[in-house]
Amino acid sequence: MDALDTHPAEEPRESPLRAEHEALGASFTDFGGWLMPVRYTSDLAEHHAVRQAAGLFDISHMGEILVEGAAAGEFLDHALAGAISAVPVGKAKYTMILAPDGGIVDDLIVYRLQDEVFLVIANAGNRETVARELTHRVAGFDATVEDQSDDYALIALQGPAAERILGAVAGVSDQSPSLDGIRSYAWGSAFFEGEPLLIARTGYTGEDGFELLLPVGRAVALWRAVLAAGEPHGLVPAGLAARDTLRLEAGMPLYGHELSRDIVPAQAGLGRVIPPGKTGFVGAHEPRPDARVLIGLTAEGRRAGRAGYGVHRGDELVGEITSGALSPTLGHPVAMAFVEPSAADATDLTIDIRGTRIPASVAALPFYRRNS
């Protein structure tokens, strides 16, 4: 298998909403080979808006890969870690595509659109890799793989007011089922200004919300319509910085931090993505009992450990932080880290923050859980 793409030096791709972000005063960053808004006003304000009302995210950098055919479900059972053929029409499943040795190539969400049609959502930086791997693995199955990423835009509406806001968006018609009938990891269909709109109750913030997929030509109109509907409810546009602190509080992994080709799912606390007894799929592997495991860490004060900072037990380096920040919601530092198994329950860990050892406590993930 080829190595993951390394994004050679070239101009980053642009979202179809680039001009909208500029008009809203966004600052940008290169993320996964895409030029994306990192913030509009304040990281903290955008984070708190999502926790208290709602935020609107452009996630058009994500990849959309269509898999269809009489053996599409059987093929995805072979190609991915989960039991995809068991997913009912109208539902979605979090899963992974693994390397032959069990390392994580990418984490994915798969939607079953019809009996023989599945939509695979991949991370931006791994889109070409996932499409290439699926195309390679489909040989011998009555199924096809088509990367349709350039044809679609994806917008995420997240927060406790998300359902009220989406219900007020002008231009949405023929929706089925109703929004309150779309449960977590399920989807419904509608039209927006005459174009198909997929409404999925999924997200990456730890809050209730929706991800909205539609043809790229209607992206600007939908973005504006959602912002207009959300103005009375406190909706704000939100960038990657807020998205990162939100997902960290919710204990959600980020590829390149908690997930990589060097990590197998069980190490990251995600062994559940592989159904008990499932064998014969690409990436089936033996356990790695001595491998580092992912834990949560909390600390007091205001100084937060960041990705790459060492985790120590006494004088011994026992791990490394993968993601860390001062939690805007909780008011204290939180982090995820890979540590030696013997340190996973330790009570005497410290984080090396630029030469200063800060005491840290092991904490269960997620750090934050919304009231449902």
Quickly list DSSP for 10-79. Answer: SPPEE-TTHHHHHHTT-EEEEETTEEEEEESS-HHHHHHHHHHSEEEEE-TTSEEEEEESTTHHHHHHHH
Query: What is the structure's pLDDT at 372?
Result: 58
The whole-number pLDDT of residue 306 equals: 97
Token representation of residue 289: 């009992």
pLDDT at 30: 95
What is the structure's pLDDT at 217?
Answer: 97
pLDDT along the chain (372 residues), means of 10: 43 96 98 96 98 98 98 98 98 98 98 98 97 98 98 98 98 96 98 98 98 98 98 98 98 98 97 95 92 98 97 97 98 98 97 97 97 70
List, as one string, the DSSP characters of 286-332: ---TTS-EEEEEE-SSS----TT-EEEETTEEEEEEEEEEE-TTTSS
CB atoms within 10 A of CB 357: 12
Q: Are 237 and 26 in contact (CB under 8 A)?
A: yes
Total-model pTM = 0.95
Q: Domains, the chain, ranges and CATH?
A: 13-61+150-249 (3.30.1360.120), 63-126 (3.30.70.1400), 292-363 (2.40.30.110)
The confidence score (pLDDT) of residue 6 equals 38
Q: Which two tokens stand for residue 97?
A: 């595509």
Cα separation of 306 and 301, whole Å?
15
